[in-house]
Structure 1
Amino acid sequence: MKKGVLLVNLGSPDSPEPKDVKKYLGEFLMDERVIDIPYVARALLVRGIILKTRPKASAAAYKKIWWKEGSPLIVISERLQNKVQKQVDVPVSLAMRYGSMSIHNGIQELVDQGVNDILLFPLYPQFAMATTETITVLAEKLRHDFFPDINIESVPAFYNKPDYIEVLSNSIKSHIEGENPQHLLFSYHGVPERHIRKSDVTNSHCKIDGNCCVTSSKAHEFCYRHQCLEVTRLVAEKLGLKEGTYSTSFQSRLGFDPWLQPYTDRTIERLGKQGIKNMAIVTPAFVSDCLETLEEIAMEGQEIFHEVGGKHFKTVPCLNDDDAFVTLLSQWINHWVTSETVAV
């Protein structure tokens, strides 16, 4: 069998214009693992309400961060793909869960090169219904419907792998050295609390009560909240951060249902009001900088901090195409190629 790798990230509109943003948001928000309510209700909410107002505002946000080369997330992901390709001996393709760079096209690109054994690599350190799961489920459907003669194996969440934690910690350290932040905030993309309970394979462990995430359970394999908190704990331990000088929060909530807390915007505001003048923020749920990191955090977050008296606001870049991260991904891929097992 000929092996190949498909890196998969979230996706992006084709342009920051409202019509393209609307098309992208429509595909994204109609995913039953993103807004997990019955189809009719989801269609009424998305097409009847959200897509009538949100595209214009989102387009304005995208225009603030759009690069000359295109969408930052797409450009960065392509750089990552190109660098990884130079360090491995099998074809490496890139796809997005949403948008024109579809997973179907990514698989087809590999199949056209003779590949029939694919390592599906979701570029998410933590598992979540709306990220890893929707990618793997769609890939399997496409395999069944269009590519029945190929094999697809998926890379599991790698949030707690020592070599990943070392790369992430070293990156954070390199960006805050000399900055001396009073507080380091770990901000993760939020999800509705019901997603945590739905992903609980035990159907009983997850209670989001402050204790379940630190109590050993097989539920942790698919618990996004636990995995986020664990990244914070492991990095803080690696960097020797003192208790009280770092914390975890969740950003990008949508709608009125309970989402994971504490919320990032309110946490930034609270820290500023408590007298923190110098803070840094890192976003470990993303491997590539995107709208949520470049606009929501670096721009909106900084504005909130300054409004409540904060002075210095440092945004730590995602791993992006950092050489150490490229080497790590390449090592994992090469291990799979030679041993036929996923090293992650």
Structure 2
Amino acid sequence: MNATVIIPAYDPEENLQRIVDRVWDLGNHVIVVDDGSDISKSDIFHRLSEKAIVIHHEKNEGKGAAIKTALKYIKENLWDCNVIGVMDADGQHLPEDMEKLVMKANNRENAMILGVRSIGEDMPLKSRLGNAITRFVFHSLSGVKVSDTQTGLRAFSYKLIDKLLQVEGTRYEYETNVLFYCAKTEVPIIEVPIKTIYHDKENSCSHFHAIRDSYRIYRDILKFSLSSFSSFILDYVLFCILTVLFPAGGVGILFANILARMISGGYNYFMNCRFVFQTGTKTQTALQYLTLAICILVMNSIFLQIYAGIFQIPVYMAKVLTEISLFVISFFVQKKIIFRHKVSGRGMIKE
């Protein structure tokens, strides 16, 4: 086995030398990517170059970009490499655990091996919350359960390089997008328990930016929410106008709701094709979306009549409650059926 371990590093501490030394002693090649670190860290990278290949980014481009830089280097220069590992530079991962993943990847050529942490009280609260949210969102969007979506300790076969270079993202979202890629293309995700070392309760050594990087990770669902919200605004405005133009009463409300829904539905389909799921308009998806739209329209009208008629809620407030009720149903049907990508039935494997 000829393995190479990638370590993206941004303003690393002195303990990176110990990590590189140990990974080297275990018989692995090491590539450290200096992702635009401060000039004061130059001496650290100079010493690392004695045992590691050090690649420099002139400016900070992000963890995903650093991993891609190393993957390109391996593809172009290390033809005898057959297994690749990725670990963080902050000392949270033990080189011995990296070795466990590398050995597992050597026996599972077409799998993504994840070193998963125990999600307990020892994990900083910020990390626990972030992991819980990401696990929920990832499972909702992909249909695959992963117990630690934010782990930076991974290993995989050289054969996956070309595919991983095509995965979008340059910062922390890249690692999440890799998992989405695995789920969509039937690459098994194998989990291996690891030890994780936290320097303090706040995990202050991490460069993860809560707002900026969370947006990158969750932007698909945010884009869907924006598309749905703008469609709702269009639908609501049209509904209000049409209820004035149509005769008063239940029949007028019904026709106003149907016409407004038809117009806003066309707008929503276009937005979801082009900007959310980025699948392009196709006859199959259009027919499936039309079927969903009809079902949602029927349910929309039923809900509206229940809220306005049975519960005597004012018609405009009833319209808001109806749209909120159907938002989640619409998202999951579109994500998992209409604009779906093929998802592996095997999913995640624990070992």
Could you say which TM-score interval applies, normalised by the shorter chain? under 0.3
Q: Which has the higher helix share?
A: 2
Higher RCO (Cα < 8 Å, 6 or more apart): 1
Q: Which structure has the bigger radius of gyration?
A: 2
Question: TM-score, with normalisation over the residues of structure 1?
Answer: 0.25
